[in-house]
Structure 1
């Protein structure tokens, strides 16, 4: 039986015997030709003891590592190499591109207000029921309450933040870069050729 919160008291030996029978029945059903299915009770108890000892050693090792860290004065801080670097306004640390993911994101010329409840419902809950999936609402310019939210102009994003950019036919059909055959050996490592 798998329920160990019975009201009736069971001795530890009886409980271990019950565990053995449950596991062996499962092993015989799932792996009838393996050696595990033929394990007798003494081997089972030795295996259980080895598992408990391994778990105890693992916990002791974890406690020892934590004590070493605490004795050294806590975890050593990871140095931030970009902390001294001054980035231009509206520029992020990745490729130093203009982005909203930077400390001075409010300096963007057009900042969209928080989306309205119907827009959140349309882009989130209603779309989640379809095969398209849920999306964040597009940033739109502020408008009056008389104008429907889907008629408001979408604010342009910086190229680095434009994640839903639809590829044009030119992007799909034209090659990205045409490299002359004479330059290829200089670009690649000679061991690769």
Structure 2
């Protein structure tokens, strides 16, 4: 063993023998009366070989499991609504105007907002709550030149269903949104349960 900064090459056999000696030195403290601890160099080599074979067979078994999962046939996935395309630009769940629609076509009279940039997503980070904005995705904005900063692009008017993250002034409470038609469809009993 070298105590300088230079490295000394040690063969694999010498490293293994050093490990065996270290284990033998610790056996009286860890398992003094155990008949399972290798006592000789030959038993130690046999034990290490057996452990390597077990690790190899376990790795082969895990690989076979992964390959079997890849080749396993999955059931056919049917498209929602049996593939019917609805072009009314309303959400599929509550039939309300929303940006969360499956259609990728531009809505007439409303440009498609591009996905926010990384800078816009991380803007103000954990301080969004202090600025009056909650932790919601950024507002949809009109398309612009790539050289124009996202702050300079005007936000698109949000649909009532999508309005989140509006800043509230201290002490200001937003009136609850009530829609009598939706209340009648959902049921007052369910709304009372949700409120409690």
TM (norm. structure 2) is 0.44
Which structure ranks higher in relative contact order (CA pairs < 8 Å, sequence separation ≥ 6)? 2
Larger radius of gyration: 2
TM-score (norm 1): 0.45
